[in-house]
Amino acid sequence: MSDTQAPASDDRHPFDALVQLMETLRAEGGCAWDRAQTLDSLKAYALEECYEVLDAIDSGDPKEHCEELGDLLLQVIFQAQIQREAGAFDAYEVCRKITHKMVRRHPHVFAGETADTAAGAHASWEKMKARERREDPAREQQSVLSGVPRAMPSLLRALRISEKASAQGFDWSTAHEVLPKIREEMGELEEALEARDEPMLRHEVGDLLFAVANLARHLDINPEEALRQANDRFTNRFQHVEQRVLEDGQKMTDLGLDTLEQRWEEAKVALAADEATRRSLHSDPDSA
């Protein structure tokens, strides 16, 4: 049995207890798996936990949301502990830096400036970021797009890139002005399809998706979230069709497209009715 024992219950701040727990797990006599992890090996876990937090938000279950936020926080503490062991920084420095940044980026709250609307507050935030860039010679030489991580989901990255370009005045004025660009990209995609030019098809599909992301931004819609919801709708409808076909003793591959389209429309109606019922029960629990 290891000499390392679980921390005793005490009056420590919960954050301190978590930091010290991770230190114990990474220490000699701690957990072999935790000790074997590196920053590179943890990247996939950090990303996975972010997505699980999003799923928990969609579930509407506060208990699940709390648990998933804890898992995400653990990834932050885990990485900070590895950096502490390397002599770089620790979890407390992470907290200090983000606290200082948030105070600095909110002069309309902490420095006597005013911003009465969300748009005004965002403008104040961007103004402070621009000032920070001017005061840091290394950052001032960087492109305004350099801070958008390449590892982001591509649709979300398109949104962030276009937001930063827009802040520099490189943008359409309204959502209606984006529509001709989408039509243009559709035309170029059709030309590539007619030419059967595979590299150009990939190019034009990408341009079309980027234009749609811009349209979503002008409509105040997060394209990543919109696509995630569309994926969920498709999955629910497809699984509904699968289940009905199975109940009829058939296989989807044996049915023609016309029959599947009919089943698809039936699924849309049935699931819409189910969703309406759930919303009604949620708004009026006594009706159950």
* 19: amino acid identity, one letter: V
| Domain limit, last residue, from 87, 104, 121 | 104
Residue 153 near residue 176 (C-beta atoms within 8 A): no
Range of the domain at 261: 224-278
* CA distance to 51, 54, 166, 187, 288, per residue, from 47 (Å): 7, 11, 28, 36, 39
Q: Is 211 within a domain?
A: no
Domains in the chain, number: 2
**pTM (global) more than 0.85:** no
- With cut-offs at 50, 70 and 90, classify the pLDDT of residue 3: very low
Q: Is 85 within a domain?
A: yes
* CA distance to 183, 247, 256, 265, per residue, from 251 (Å): 39, 10, 11, 18
What mean pLDDT is reported for the chain? Answer: 91
Number of Cβ within 10 Å of residue 68's Cβ equals 21
CATH code where residue 29 lies: 1.10.287.1080
| Domain limit, last residue, from 104, 122, 155 | 104
276 pLDDT above the threshold of 90: no
Q: Nearest Cα to 76, choosing from 19, 21, 153?
A: 19
pLDDT in tens, 47-103: 999 999 999 998 999 999 999 999 999 999 999 999 999 999 999 999 999 999 999
User: Residue 133: exposed, middle, or buried by beta-carbon count in 10 A (0-12, 13-18, 19+)?
Assistant: middle
| Domain limit, last residue, from 104, 122, 142 | 104
